[in-house]
């Protein structure tokens, strides 16, 4: 057959692609899956030692996803009983009367809250304090007379510049109000809650106070604070209360909740709500949803009133509720305009309330996360493990329901494991323990299952910035799913907790192992190797400036500050103890306070390849050099410019040796190692065997705990000999 020159070129290209594909499949991919022991540099070979008894985990999936069936709980819709009664709003004493949480330009720092005395007598505020949202302690002898108002602000200079009229200012609070909404709680001298208000920047709350020049102002001193319609959106008016207790003609419901907050088997469960803007011409219904079935209950009619001080208390008794039952509830009303209103608002991300009835005290030493996911969604999630697409989920923790979440598979190489790792994403209106991300790592390749938890504890105990990590038990649709390693998400909320509110945080996330703080002439290259976790709208100039100086003769000035020097030493020492070679040019974070390249810090991440791993997942390595990570002694994937520059500095080199010895003698003793591992082992003893039997992997996890303890003790002795 005669081929044209064009066809011959096409055939050559095809043959080249086939050869490259074979090379990729036969050589590169096994290397990525860490199956080839010979790929390791000589510096991390096993030096002829006999292999440890660790057996490679089975890669086949043992657990059948069909067990993820949604549970069916019996529930008697006919047993539900509704009642309501009219009540009169009473004077509240000390109230929040104005909230200026997001001032507009040019007075962004003029934020304030206003307190008013709604009672008929003077109130002594000695010993009172703001305990949530802000921090402020009222001075001794402070008295607020009937009808009197006073202000607490963020910055008095900015406040006086924006509002020059004579206004009583009690002082400055610490912290600041979130622009997305806040919960403010004030406690009296007996430490009892006197004021508890949550507001938001979205409907049903007014939206114009969110940076558009207005503030939230109370309509009157006798209206219910928690009713969004009790608040105006008006130009800021500190020191005075403009009253108007008139409501509109449509009803409004607020303060929806259930009692007990975390019901258990045998509890009488109540659903409660308050209604203002009463009207007999508009029907209001309670809607319940259980097991996908919905039932609507009309509320009894009541006399019409347009006053916000006229309220109706609504109460629904659910009757006996079986353990494991999830009940969603909301209210609906047909308005006079023919539309349907819903509480919570149907346009919100969580358009309902929910309660879960537990089975009482569970016999487990671990936190239990109960996930509810439709079987089809769970199947879709696992069939597309390489995708970051999410599926809807519900999670129950300690009886509290986190509804309408998003969940996806997380990780890189770990996505190929039969036991997947997950990320659970919460909504800002219902955060989980102050966080909106939950990382659940499967620990499938770790024969002891606890290395990552222990690694973060070692960084923390060494005095480095670290993340909270713990073992948790995961249940899926009321069935045991496995043990997981929870790792805190490094984000803005984490930084705030560390006192780093304005820090820019970068994740070293290079697919080519080049996020090692090397200097790139072109600043536009950095986004290819680092991902911003905070301050996403700002340029990479702080990171670029840091890397430029790190590569210059003045690199030592980056750790001339004693606090930063000490933090760096602690990070280097913990990395050496753990043999964390996987974090030199990826899998770590670097941050800068206030975009200042001189105020920098390091944060560890993705620590599953520590404490004995030597590239092939054998977990038998204890003798890697304490200088690993420098240019002369690179790790498996490379080296780090911070490590290299710091450990070339003679004074830092001496300080590093001294600090490492100090930590090993006074902190990471043999007793500390044994105690920490024993405590983690005691937590997992009830469930580890079930996990391994279901998912495969190393079955003799108790033996592996002993190997982990011995390996870390051997590592400690090796370093001490080197020092």
> Average pLDDT for residues 295-310, to the nearest whole number?
71
Q: Which residues pair with 410 in a beta bridge?
A: 421
Q: Which CATH number is correct for 94-234, 2.40.37.10, 2.60.40.1260, 3.40.50.300, 3.40.605.10?
A: 2.60.40.1260
The most confident of the ranges 170-179, 353-362, 370-379, 664-673 is: 664-673
Could you identify the residue written with the tokens 């001339």? 560
Could you identify the residue written with the tokens 């079987």? 375
Q: Is residue 279 very low, low, confident or very high in pLDDT (cuts 50, 70, 90)?
A: low
Q: Is the pLDDT of residue 35 over 50?
A: no
Q: Which phi-psi region, left, alpha or beta, contains residue 615 (left: φ > 0; alpha: ψ -120 to 50)?
A: left
Spell out the alpha helix ranges (H) of 89-188. 156-162
What is the pTM for the complete model shown?
0.82
Lowest mean pLDDT among 33-42, 118-127, 141-150: 33-42
Q: Is the pLDDT of residue 238 over 60?
A: yes
- Given a contact cutoff of 8 angstroms between Cβ atoms, the answer to whether 453 and 441 are in contact is no
Q: Is residue 33 very low, low, confident or very high in pLDDT (cuts 50, 70, 90)?
A: very low
CA distance 136 to 39: 59
Q: Is residue 245 very low, low, confident or very high in pLDDT (cuts 50, 70, 90)?
A: low
Phi and psi torsions of 693, nearest 5°? -65, -35
Give the pLDDT of residue 222. Answer: 76
Residue ranges of E strands in 573-695: 588-592, 600-604
Q: Is residue 706 very low, low, confident or very high in pLDDT (cuts 50, 70, 90)?
A: very high
Give the pLDDT of residue 244. Answer: 62
Give the pLDDT of residue 302. Answer: 59
Give the pLDDT of residue 278. Answer: 62
Give the pLDDT of residue 26. Answer: 36
Please tell me which residue, 305 or 168, carries the higher pLDDT value. Answer: 168
In terms of C-beta density within 10 A (0-12 exposed, 13-18 middle, 19 or more buried), how is residue 514 classed?
middle
The CATH 2.60.40.10 portion of the chain extends over: 77-88+249-344
> Average pLDDT for residues 163-167, to the nearest whole number?
86
- The first and second tokens of residue 265, run together, are 């088997």
**Coil, strand or helix: which one is 43?**
helix
The Cα diameter of the chain in Å comes to: 107
* Percentage, residues of the chain above pLDDT 70: 86
Give the pLDDT of residue 705. Answer: 97
Give the pLDDT of residue 241. Answer: 80
- Given a contact cutoff of 8 angstroms between Cβ atoms, the answer to whether 238 and 167 are in contact is yes
Q: Which CATH number is correct for 77-88+249-344, 3.40.109.10, 3.50.50.60, 2.60.40.10, 3.40.50.1820?
A: 2.60.40.10
Could you identify the residue written with the tokens 């206030």? 594
CA distance 711 to 700: 17
> Average pLDDT for residues 30-36, to the nearest whole number?
30
Q: Is the pLDDT of residue 48 over 60?
A: no
Give the pLDDT of residue 282. Answer: 66
Lowest mean pLDDT among 70-74, 158-162, 438-442, 593-597: 70-74
Q: Is the pLDDT of residue 324 over 70?
A: yes
Q: Is residue 352 very low, low, confident or very high in pLDDT (cuts 50, 70, 90)?
A: very high
Q: Is residue 52 very low, low, confident or very high in pLDDT (cuts 50, 70, 90)?
A: very low
Element (H, E) at 672: helix 670-684
Lowest mean pLDDT among 64-78, 115-129, 416-430, 457-471: 64-78
Please tell me which residue, 229 or 128, carries the higher pLDDT value. Answer: 128
CA distance 379 to 207: 40
Lowest mean pLDDT among 237-251, 406-420, 514-528, 614-628: 237-251
Q: Is the pLDDT of residue 585 over 60?
A: yes
> Average pLDDT for residues 501-509, to the nearest whole number?
94
Q: Is residue 25 very low, low, confident or very high in pLDDT (cuts 50, 70, 90)?
A: very low
> Average pLDDT for residues 216-238, to the nearest whole number?
86
Q: Which CATH number is correct for 492-722, 1.20.1640, 1.10.1070, 1.10.260, 2.80.10?
A: 1.10.1070
> Average pLDDT for residues 326-352, to the nearest whole number?
86
Give the pLDDT of residue 284. Answer: 86
Q: Of 428, 427, 424, whose CA–CA distance to 438 is shortest?
A: 424
Q: What pLDDT, in 10s, does the model give residues 74-84?
A: 899 999 999 98
Q: Which residues pair with 590 in a beta bridge?
A: 506, 602
Give the pLDDT of residue 118. Answer: 87
Give the pLDDT of residue 90. Answer: 64
SS3 content of the chain, % helix, strand, coil (to 5): 25, 25, 45
Please tell me which residue, 41 or 671, carries the higher pLDDT value. Answer: 671
Q: Is residue 220 very low, low, confident or very high in pLDDT (cuts 50, 70, 90)?
A: confident
Q: Is the pLDDT of residue 179 over 80?
A: yes
Give the pLDDT of residue 441. Answer: 97
Residue ranges of E strands in 477-568: 479-487, 504-508, 530-532
Please tell me which residue, 16 or 589, carries the higher pLDDT value. Answer: 589
- The first and second tokens of residue 352, run together, are 């309902």
As a whole number, the mean pLDDT across the chain is 87
Please tell me which residue, 282 or 133, carries the higher pLDDT value. Answer: 133
Give the pLDDT of residue 67. Answer: 59
Q: Is residue 15 very low, low, confident or very high in pLDDT (cuts 50, 70, 90)?
A: low
- Given a contact cutoff of 8 angstroms between Cβ atoms, the answer to whether 323 and 357 are in contact is yes
Q: Which residues pair with 264 in a beta bridge?
A: 358
- The first and second tokens of residue 315, run together, are 């109460």
Q: Is residue 9 very low, low, confident or very high in pLDDT (cuts 50, 70, 90)?
A: low
Give the pLDDT of residue 239. Answer: 85
> Average pLDDT for residues 299-326, to the nearest whole number?
78
The most confident of the ranges 175-189, 224-238, 611-625, 634-648 is: 634-648
The CATH 1.10.1070 portion of the chain extends over: 492-722
Could you identify the residue written with the tokens 């606090």? 563
The CATH 2.60.40.1260 portion of the chain extends over: 94-234
Q: What pLDDT, in 10s, does the model give residues 612-631?
A: 998 888 899 999 999 999 99
Residue 336 contacts by C-beta under 8 Å, 6 or more apart in sequence? 249, 250, 281, 282
């Amino acid at each position: 057959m005669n081929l044209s020159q064009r066809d011959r070129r096409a055939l050559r290209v095809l043959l080249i692609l086939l050869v490259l594909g074979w090379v990729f499949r036969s050589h590169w991919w096994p290397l990525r899956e860490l199956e080839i022991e010979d790929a390791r540099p000589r510096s991390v070979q096993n030096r002829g030692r006999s292999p440890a008894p660790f057996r490679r985990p089975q890669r086949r999936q043992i657990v059948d996803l069909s067990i993820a069936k949604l549970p069916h709980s019996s529930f008697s819709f006919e047993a539900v009983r509704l009642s309501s009664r009219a009540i009169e709003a009473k004077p509240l004493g000390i109230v929040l009367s104005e909230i200026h949480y997001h001032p507009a330009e040019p007075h962004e720092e003029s934020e304030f809250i206003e307190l008013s005395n709604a009672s008929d007598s003077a109130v002594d505020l000695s010993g009172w304090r703001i305990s949530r949202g802000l921090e402020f302690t009222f001075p001794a002898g402070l008295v607020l007379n009937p009808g009197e108002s006073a202000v607490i602000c963020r910055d008095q200079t900015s406040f006086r510049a924006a509002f020059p009229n004579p206004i009583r200012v009690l002082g400055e609070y610490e912290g600041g109000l979130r622009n997305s909404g806040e919960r403010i709680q004030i406690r009296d001298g007996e430490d009892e809650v006197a004021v508890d208000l949550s507001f938001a920047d979205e409907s049903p709350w007014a939206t114009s106070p969110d940076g558009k020049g207005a503030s939230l102002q109370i309509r009157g001193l006798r209206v219910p604070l928690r009713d969004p319609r009790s608040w105006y959106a008006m130009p800021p008016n500190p020191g005075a209360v403009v009253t108007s207790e008139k409501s509109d003609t449509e009803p409004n419901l607020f303060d929806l909740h259930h009692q007990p907050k975390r019901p258990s088997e045998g509890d009488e469960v109540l659903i409660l709500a308050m209604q203002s803007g009463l009207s007999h011409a508009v029907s209001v219904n309670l809607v319940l949803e259980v097991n996908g079935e919905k039932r609507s209950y009309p509320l009894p009619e009541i006399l019409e009133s347009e006053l916000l001080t006229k309220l109706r208390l609504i109460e629904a008794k659910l009757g006996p509720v079986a353990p494991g039952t999830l009940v969603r509830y909301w209210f609906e009303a047909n308005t006079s305009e023919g539309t349907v209103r819903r509480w919570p608002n149907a346009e919100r991300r969580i358009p309902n309330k929910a309660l879960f009835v537990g089975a009482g005290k569970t016999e487990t030493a671990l936190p239990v996360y109960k996930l509810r996911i439709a079987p089809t969604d769970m199947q879709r999630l696992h069939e597309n493990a390489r995708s970051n697409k999410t599926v809807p989920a519900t999670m129950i923790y300690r009886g509290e329901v986190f509804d309408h979440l998003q969940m996806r598979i997380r990780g890189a190489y770990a996505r190929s494991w039969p036991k997947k790792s997950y990320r659970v994403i919460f909504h800002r209106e219902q955060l989980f323990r102050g966080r909106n991300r939950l990382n659940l790592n499967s620990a499938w390749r770790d024969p002891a299952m606890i290395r990552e938890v222990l690694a973060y504890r070692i960084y923390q105990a060494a005095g480095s910035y670290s993340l909270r990590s713990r073992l948790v038990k995961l249940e899926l649709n009321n069935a045991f799913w496995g043990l997981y390693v929870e790792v805190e998400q490094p984000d803005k909320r984490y930084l705030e907790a560390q006192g780093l509110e304005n820090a820019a945080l970068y994740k070293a996330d290079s697919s080519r192992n080049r996020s090692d703080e090397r200097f790139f002439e072109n600043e536009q290259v950095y986004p290819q190797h680092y991902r911003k976790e905070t301050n996403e709208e700002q340029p990479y100039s702080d990171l670029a400036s840091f890397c430029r100086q790190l590569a210059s003769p003045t690199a030592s000035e980056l750790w001339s500050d004693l606090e930063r020097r000490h933090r760096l030493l602690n990070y280097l020492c913990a990395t050496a103890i753990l043999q964390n070679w996987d974090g030199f040019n990826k899998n770590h974070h670097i941050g800068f306070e206030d975009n200042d390249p001189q105020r920098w810090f390091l944060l560890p991440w993705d620590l599953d390849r520590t404490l004995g791993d030597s590239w092939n997942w054998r977990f038998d390595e204890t003798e890697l050099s304490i200088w690993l990570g420098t240019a002369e002694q690179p790790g498996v994937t490379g080296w780090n410019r911070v490590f290299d520059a710091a450990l070339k500095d003679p004074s830092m080199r001496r300080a590093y040796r001294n600090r490492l010895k100090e930590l090993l003698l006074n902190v990471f003793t043999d007793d500390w190692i044994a105690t920490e591992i024993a405590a983690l082992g005691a937590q997992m003893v009830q469930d580890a065997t079930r996990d391994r039997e279901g998912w495969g992997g190393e079955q003799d996890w108790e033996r592996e705990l002993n190997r982990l303890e011995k390996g870390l003790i051997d590592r400690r002795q090796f370093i001490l000999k080197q020092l």
